[in-house]
């Protein structure tokens, strides 16, 4: 068995896992993400990998990063949610660890994992939509990750959806992830709680609107609470609107919905399917992609990054 | 030399041309498009091909259609601007003509022509944006037309750009082509003329706002007339906004601007480049595609359709 380490560098935590050739996680460790400190971030990754490899034989390390990764997969060019610095982080870690290291956009990594081991097995043309803090994406075309001309394709969270719309952390306005991500769900839920429109959510959060979480919305919506259901319906509408554009451009066979928000399951899936069918040009006159839920949950990025790096070494 | 016929079925006219293996048009004939009459439309295509093949040896016929074409390239599934009917038009014409016939989306055909013989020669990953009555698109990935999972990829004119925006002929609202096509340029120019904001345009149109054309706007803008320049600047802004989304998703190496509006040349090219650089996420932190003008003008669709059909027969 040739195991590889996958590292998921997220906005709140960094997780490292040993992944076997079947995409199974053998062991996983995690730590909080250092804020605004590229050196500390690199040290945490190094420490986590050092810890976990003391207990497992591993051949390579793949780092999934929520950002624009250079075509040579050595550095992060641009990351709205995290600071990776300008250094070739893959080279620095490779030297420090004495193991092959590559960086992969986390959406690409998640798409690869779902295609290889998850909900998209055997479907050569598929789009991954990872709905979490932002919206990540990955595109599998002809059974390969489609990386684009400069390595930064599938940044679907920055589809422009409202001209002069809400400010996005990327510096632009009106990006899709400002309307259809987990953060936007939480933002609207807190606003509703603060404005007295969501008494059940407020109660679930112990009376503090700022403590409302996406999971609370999911839980209450599952129980049929109307305001939480309305919040999901709005999210699904925005997701459908963006998906309609992506389907017009890409015409995928399959769309896999992943990321933390996809844990809401059918609560998300059914209204998104309906919104896509309603919003897409050609409607019933054109074939639509299947839309399904990711199978690997929040581990997809970590599993995919490990597997992709193992493949470089193979 | 193996010649093929390319047919360009447009909203106002149908053109058929004999295309040689180097992409050159040997002879071209044309007729007005019948409105709302699929049978008459097919008859015009048949007559034009019959006429032109009486003077040339041809091996196949390719029809470029502004619509969603079935994956088997036998029929048009959906066309906002023209009525093709539900019949397998390629089979009917093939039987009538005794020649191999295939239908191709006109944006795909134009992209193929520019890649094979025009502005995009030798660039394996490129996006064609054909700005005419609507906005057509074609995507070349790895030196092949990217057709998507169901044959209807690259319908970029129906990128959603304004939620609940202007009604589009496709039945939805807020599609890109309602803001950034030749029709929208003409619409805004006529409105400006009608409202007294564009006296030079009104004069060029002999005092009748409804007679203002896109070419008049181009000509006056070239002469530096401020209102016409402002109309182009607005068009370029909307083009840049949509392109920013397409670049985020597709990360092409090259964007080729074609269609009738691209005949405005640098008047269009420079402001579109500027708008893309301003609107795209990651701005100066990410590599941008080159943006260039198409080389084959309005013949691109006809040339590409002929060449693609010839290749099936080869």
- In chain B, domain spans: 4-111+298-313, 123-294
> Does residue B289 carry a pLDDT above 70?
yes
Using pLDDT thresholds of 50, 70 and 90, give the confidence band for residue B283: confident
Q: What pLDDT is recorded for position B242?
A: 98
A141:B141 CB<8 A = yes
Mean pLDDT over B44-51 rounds to 98
Q: What pLDDT is recorded for position A35?
A: 84
Q: What pLDDT is recorded for position B50?
A: 98
Mean pLDDT over A44-61 rounds to 97
- Kindly report, residue by residue over B202-249, the tens digit of the pLDDT: 999 999 999 999 999 999 999 999 999 999 999 999 999 999 999 999
Does A172 contact chain B (CB < 8 Å)?
yes
Mean pLDDT over A120-146 rounds to 95
Task: Tell me what the pLDDT averaged over chain A comes to.
Answer: 95
Cα–Cα distance for residue pair A177/B25, rounded to 1 Å? 47
A251:B141 CB<8 A = no
Q: What pLDDT is recorded for position A313?
A: 63
Task: Tell me what the pLDDT averaged over chain B comes to.
Answer: 95
Q: Please state which CATH class domain B4-111+298-313 belongs to.
A: alpha beta
Check: CB of residue B259 under 8 Å from CB of residue B130. yes
Taking the whole predicted model, whether its pTM rises above 0.80 is answered as yes
Fold matches, B4-111+298-313 and B123-294: yes
Q: What pLDDT is recorded for position A146?
A: 96
Nearest CB among A147, A244, A287 relative to B150 is that of: A287
- Nearest chain B residue to A179 by CA distance is B163
Q: What pLDDT is recorded for position A82?
A: 83
Q: Please state which CATH class domain B123-294 belongs to.
A: alpha beta
A281:B147 CB<8 A = no
Does B240 contact chain A (CB < 8 Å)?
no
Cα–Cα distance for residue pair B137/B108, rounded to 1 Å? 6
Mean pLDDT over A145-155 rounds to 95
DSSP notation for chain B: ---EEEEEE-SSEEEEEEE-TTS-EEEEEEEEPPSS-HHHHHHHHHHHHHHHHTSS--S-EEEEESSEEPTTSSSEEE-SS----SS-HHHHHHHHHTS-EEEEEHHHHHHHHHHHHSTTTT-SSEEEEEESSSEEEEEEETTEE---SSS----GGG-B-STT-SB-TTS-BSBTHHHHSHHHHHHHHHHHHHTTS-HHHHHHTTT-GGG--HHHHHHHHHTT-HHHHHHHHHHHHHHHHHHHHHHHHH--SEEEEESGGGGGTHHHHHHHHHHHHHHSTTGGGSPPPEEEE-SSGGGHHHHHHHHHHHHHH-
Task: Residue A282: list chain B partners with CB under 8 A.
Answer: 68, 77-78, 152, 155, 158, 170
Cα–Cα distance for residue pair A305/A64, rounded to 1 Å? 6
- Kindly report, residue by residue over B78-127, the tens digit of the pLDDT: 988 788 899 999 999 999 999 999 999 999 999 999 999 999 999 999 99
Q: What pLDDT is recorded for position A83?
A: 86
Q: Give A122-294's CATH code, choosing from 3.30.420.40, 3.40.50.2300, 3.10.290.10, 3.40.720.10.
A: 3.30.420.40
**Contacting residues for A3 by C-beta, under 8 A, at least 6 apart:** A18, A19, A20, A21, A26, A56, A57, A58, A59
Mean pLDDT over B150-174 rounds to 96
- Kindly report, residue by residue over A294-309, the tens digit of the pLDDT: 999 989 999 999 999 9
> Does residue A98 carry a pLDDT above 80?
yes
- Kindly report, residue by residue over A201-230, the tens digit of the pLDDT: 999 999 999 999 999 999 999 999 999 999
> Does residue B3 carry a pLDDT above 80?
yes
Using pLDDT thresholds of 50, 70 and 90, give the confidence band for residue A314: low
> Does residue B314 carry a pLDDT above 70?
no
């Amino acid at each position: 068995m040739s195991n590889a380490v996958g590292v998921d560098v997220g906005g709140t935590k960094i997780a490292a896992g040993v992944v076997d050739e079947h995409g199974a996680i053998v062991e996983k460790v995690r730590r909080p993400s250092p804020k605004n400190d590229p050196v500390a971030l690199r040290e945490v990754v190094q420490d986590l990998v050092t810890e976990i490899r003391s207990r497992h034989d591993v051949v390579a390390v793949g780092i999934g990063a929520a950002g624009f990764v250079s075509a040579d997969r050595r550095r992060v060019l641009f990351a709205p949610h995290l600071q990776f610095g300008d250094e070739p982080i893959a080279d620095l870690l490779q030297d420090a660890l004495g193991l092959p290291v590559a960086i992969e956009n986390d959406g690409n990594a998640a798409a690869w994992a779902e295609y290889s081991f998850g909900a998209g097995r055997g479907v050569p043309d598929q789009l991954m939509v990872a709905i979490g803090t932002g919206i990540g994406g990955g595109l599998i075309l002809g059974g390969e990750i489609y990386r684009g001309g400069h390595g930064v394709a599938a940044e679907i969270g920055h589809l422009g959806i409202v001209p002069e719309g809400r400010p996005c952390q990327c510096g632009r306005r009106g990006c899709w992830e400002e309307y259809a991500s987990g953060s936007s769900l939480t933002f609207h839920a807190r606003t509703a709680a603060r404005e007295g429109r969501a008494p059940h959510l407020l109660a679930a959060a112990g009376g503090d609107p700022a403590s409302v979480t996406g999971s609370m919305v999911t839980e209450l919506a599952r129980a049929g609470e109307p305001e939480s259901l309305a919040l999901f319906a709005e999210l699904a509408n925005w997701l459908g609107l963006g998906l309609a554009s992506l389907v017009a451009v890409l015409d995928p066979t399959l769309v896999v919905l992943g990321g933390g928000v996809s844990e809401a399951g059918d609560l998300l899936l059914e209204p998104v399917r309906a919104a896509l069918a309603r919003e897409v040009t050609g409607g019933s006159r054109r074939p639509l992609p299947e839309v399904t839920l990711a199978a690997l949950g929040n581990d997809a990025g970590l599993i995919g990054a490990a597997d992709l790096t193992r493949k470089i070494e193979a």
